[in-house]
Structure 1
Amino acid sequence: MAKPSGSRVALLGFGTVGQAVARILCSGEVPQVQLTHIFNRNVDAKRVDWVPASVRWTDVVEDILASDADIVVELVGGLHPAYEWVRSALLAGKSVVTANKQLMAHYGTELLDLARAQGREVRFEASVAGGIPVLRALQEGLAGDRLVEVRGILNGTCNYILSRMQADAVSFGDALAEAQKAGYAEADPTEDLDGADAAAKLAIIAAVGLRRPVRVTDIATRSIRPIEPVDFEYARQLGCTIRQIARASVEDSGAVFAAVRPALVPLSSGFGQNAGSQNLVTVRGVFGGETSFSGHGAGGSPTAVAVVSDVLSVRRAAGEAAPPSEPTPFHIVSGDFVAPHYVRFTVNDKPGILAQVTAAYARYGINIEGVLQLPKFRKDRLPFVTTLEECSESVLDRALAEVAQSDFHVQAPLSLPIFA
């Protein structure tokens, strides 16, 4: 395929990001790329006068698939029908650029294999931390290293909520309401709060950076919902704060670890200092050590810049033969943390509680490092904390399930790993 003098682009979706992409393509700043088609449901309500008259508007996706566009930019989001449309575009001989993290987390390996078979491209920089070119950095800037670990704050909603709870001791519910009012959280924030959003991004980074494709459904997740202001008080006594951390690593045995968890991190660390809706990604290589990337994780304009950059990358790659490849296998994933842990109990205080807790720990071979108890709380709802030496999360869960059978609990224990 000869390198074209100008690439023709069709947009699937004209929401916040789609409009921002169209503005860049219509600005004259990228004359080598021409916007030719815009698809959106209820397209007449979406028309704007700043898009050139030469651009065709449609609400029929088949118009896009049958068009002369070289590149389809998918910005409709979700799994379906985005998957079917992207697959059809590749089969129609078009390259694809997408900002759809769920699509790439669930179907990315299949779509990349199909693109190679068709001699086309799928680019997806904007699907992870839209304002940070982290995937390009992993593929190009760090290509000479063998990356073995990635840790990241990949969800701006959770980071905003936890930052507010840390700064002003507001409740989880109040911090969530603030995030929704500020536009950082959706009306239904389930995917953000419970880790599914970060898990999708982690799956993409693991495939690109660690070269270990994993099924997003195999990534263990835990919610930030049980965290309370008191946890930040206790964390501060330990020189820490709390963040939602997505972590994937390749162990010496070759096993792949991947999980998304709220965790204690040192206040002085990059993760502890990362506040508001900012994203932060740190990767560790065998030869180059640690490298970090930070910036806005989402938003119309930053994501649009990443999308247009991918469009230009596809154009530059036109004419290059894709190497043949076998279907890419998935790797088996473990999500069992081995780390020091923080465990907060909330109890109706009476003699012998600590003895029962320590006895349960002992039965499972778990060593206590310390006990923390602030004096200001009511006895009938008393929070106290045990910090533990390194232990397996699965073993700790079994010990806590046993302790939870006792009648002194006011609510379930909360366990969080402690990261250095």
Structure 2
Amino acid sequence: MCMTLDESAPVRVALLGAGVVGSQVARLLTENSDDLRARVGRAIELVGVGVRRTGIERPGIDPALFTSDLESLVSRPDVDIVIELIGGIEPARTLLLAALSAGKSVVTANKALLADHSHELFQAAAAARVDLYFEAAVAGAIPIIRPLRESLVGDEITTIMGIVNGTTNYILDQMTAEGTDFAGALAEAQRLGFAEADPTADVEGDDAAAKAALLASLAFHTRVRGSDVPRAGISDITADDVAAAKALNCTIKLVAVCSLSEDDRISLGVYPALVPNSHPLASIRGAYNAVFIESRSAGRLMFMGPGAGGTPTASAVLGDLVTAARNRLRGVPGPGESTYAARSLMPAGEVTSRFYVSLEVVDVPGVLAKVARAFADHQVSLQIVRQEGTGESARLGIMTHVAATAAITATVADLEAMTDVRSRVKILRVAGM
């Protein structure tokens, strides 16, 4: 159903949402109209902006464009492309399915929707022979979706490891560089607009897990949902954890890790991890994002840049818009969903990593031997054992060799059952080492 336009008609665009990103998209469509015309070969015209409430002044956008009837807007016969920036699952899912079914190409930044409903959206796009683009859904302005869908499609990707949430990276960076505790760093992130009033989705890893699902789906040609990704957040990271990382010449980062195992299964996870300072991801500061890729032929690649913000994200949206408009004019859609590999997902307990385990113990002879025995009972090999403090109690920091998550979980249960252990046992993974 992908139709070409007559030679004089502009490409007509409907925009859903006029918030931080949407307002910048509308502005750039106006300010860069001549450049966009030159790049597409046809004018791009914004013909409607769907918003919840139409009575609010939004500088830089013609008030005549606003409508609260989003259902009618996405079905208008003169609309060629729909840009969705309202977020959430509903009504975005229903609106985009309606737009695709009506033969409109879609550009979206909605990672939560794509992480759980990409299959039905791709099916609708394929049935209508139109485009579904979503560069802005992962890592803001960083071009990572297009390289995975197009540039690296002739290669085999083996690992993706990334910092894909700017809020958590800013918080952890403040804790590392300034010595701020978690609550103070979060408050500063909220003051600067890097964190939402309710930061749960960011600090508990849900946002990063949705992005990891999209990256894994593209990299490994297998359908992965957001709910498939095990995740842990950063809300219990303390100054002691940051100090331990520094002592090991590491930095704590919230990372999304997607990799292929030796038996061709997909290993997934989002968690705070110790990243060696020699690794490129350790140097990513503030609210920036970065994605590190390893592939069979191209080797190691890294993409880095602003992970959020109105203008950077709008840049990614407009990149998709230009591509969708060009495809529209040619009458052919771009790449669709690729799930031919249908790889299985590794159960969370089988996912392997190196781990850093810290705990407070009674400082008496024989305790270290008991702790070591707990690890040995579950076939977890120790690499480094550090002890801090003397007197009635001491803090142990233990770096393991590679072990399965289930083995570490069982070890921790045994440790916490010991009368000589005085604190909750803390676990951090080690990534990139």
TM-score by length of 2: 0.90
Choose 365-374 or 401-410, whichever is displaced more: 401-410
Q: Deviations over 1:253-299 (max 9, x none)?
A: 22111111111111121111111111010111111101100000010
Instruction: Say if 1:304 and 1:190 are closer, same or farther in 2 by CA, change over 3 A.
Output: same
Choose the corresponding residue for 1:109, options 113, 119, 144.
119
2:406 is the alignment partner of 1:402 = no
- Paired with 2:171 and 2:148, the residues of 1 have a C-alpha distance of 29
Do 1:109 and 1:328's aligned partners in 2 also have CA atoms closer than 8 Å?
A: no
Counterpart CA distance in 2 for 1:300 and 1:2 is 31
CA 1:322–1:337: 2 relative to 1, 3 Å: closer
In structure 2, give the amino acid aligned to 1:187: A
Q: Distance in 1 between matches of 2:396 and 2:326?
A: 59
Q: Deviations over 1:33-79 (max 9, x none)?
A: 1000011011111444x3347x5321111220332211111111011
Choose 296-305 or 169-178, whichever is displaced more.
169-178
- 1:316 pairs with 2:330: no
Output the CA distance in 2 between the equivalents of 1:279 and 1:323.
25
Say if 1:111 and 1:365 are closer, same or farther in 2 by CA, change over 3 A.
same
What's 1:368 paired with? 382
Q: Which residue of 2 aligns with 1:148?
A: 158
Partner of 1:64: 73
Q: Distance in 2 between matches of 1:239 and 1:65?
A: 53
Structure 2 letter corresponding to 1:303: T
* Cα distance in 2, alignment partners of residues 24 and 147 from structure 1: 34
Counterpart selection for 2:173 from 163, 166, 182: 163
Partner of 2:25: 21
Moved more, 290-299 or 61-70: 61-70
Contact 1:214 1:331 in 2 (8 A): no
Q: Deviations over 1:101-150 (max 9, x none)?
A: 10111111221121011111111000001110111122232233111211
Secondary structure of 1:209's match?
helix
Q: What is the DSSP-based 3-state SS (H/G/I as helix, E as strand, rest coil) of the residue aligned with 1:241? A: strand
CA distance in 1, matches of 2:391, 2:18: 54
Contact 1:214–1:332, Cα closer than 8 Å, also in 2: no
Partners of 1:258 and 1:196 lie apart in 2 by: 13
Query: What secondary structure, in the 3-state scheme, does the structure 2 residue paired with 1:340 have?
Result: strand
8 A Cα contact 2:254 2:272, kept in partner: yes
Q: Which position in structure 1 is the counterpart of 2:148?
A: 138
- 1:33 aligns with 44
Contact 1:17-1:299 within 8 A present in 2 as well? yes
Would you say the 8 A contact 1:97–1:307 is kept in 2? yes
Which residue pairs with 1:9 in the alignment?
A: 13
Would the aligned equivalents of 2:75 and 2:98 in 1 still touch at CA under 8 Å?
no
Q: Mean Cα displacement is larger for which, 184-193 or 322-331?
A: 322-331
Q: Which residue of 2 is the match for residue 415 of structure 1?
A: 427
Aligned length: 416
Decide whether the 8 Å contact of 1:160 with 1:276 is kept in 2. Answer: yes
Which residue pairs with 1:276 in the alignment?
286
User: Secondary structure of 2:224's match?
Assistant: coil
Rounded to whole Å, the distance in 2 between the matches of 1:199 and 1:400 is 25
Matches within 5 A, 1:20-419: 20-27=24-31, 28-29=33-34, 30-31=36-37, 32-48=43-59, 50-52=60-62, 55-67=64-76, 68-318=78-328, 319-320=331-332, 331-334=343-346, 335=348, 336-347=350-361, 349-375=363-389, 379=392, 382-419=394-431
In structure 2, the gaps of 5 or more residues are 38-42
- Give the counterpart letter for 2:415 in structure 1: V
For the structure 1 residues 378 and 310, does the alpha-carbon distance in structure 2 shift closer, same or farther, using more than 3 Å as the test? Answer: farther
Moved more, 283-292 or 211-220: 211-220
Gaps of 5+ in 1: none
Change over 3 Å in CA distance of 1:13–1:369 after alignment to 2: same
For the structure 1 residues 378 and 7, does the alpha-carbon distance in structure 2 shift closer, same or farther, using more than 3 Å as the test?
farther
Q: Is the 8 A contact 1:119 1:322 kept in 2?
A: no
Structure 1, 24-33 or 383-392: larger mean CA deviation: 24-33
Identical aligned residues as a percent? 36
Residue pair 1:89, 1:96 contacting (<8 A) in 2 also? yes
CA contact (8 A) 2:213 2:228 kept: no
Offset at residue 222 of structure 1 (A) = 1.2
Q: CA RMSD in A?
A: 2.2
Which digits, 9 at most, give the CA deviation of each residue in 1:354-381, with x for residues without a partner? 2321121111111222211233x8856x
Amino acid at match of 1:88: A
Q: Secondary structure at the match of 1:170?
A: coil
Q: The residue matched to 2:402 in structure 1 has which SS?
A: strand
Greater CA deviation, 25-34 or 282-291? 25-34
Change (3 A) 1:249 1:118: same
Distance in 2, Cα, partners of 1:177 & 1:284: 36
- The verdict on how the C-alpha distance between 1:399 and 1:156 changes in structure 2, with shifts beyond 3 A counting, is same
AA partner of residue 386 (structure 1): I
Structure 1: distance between partners of 2:265 and 2:337:
23
Distance 1:365 1:299 in 2: 46
Residue 311 of structure 2 aligns to a residue whose secondary structure is helix
- Output the CA distance in 1 between the equivalents of 2:398 and 2:339: 47
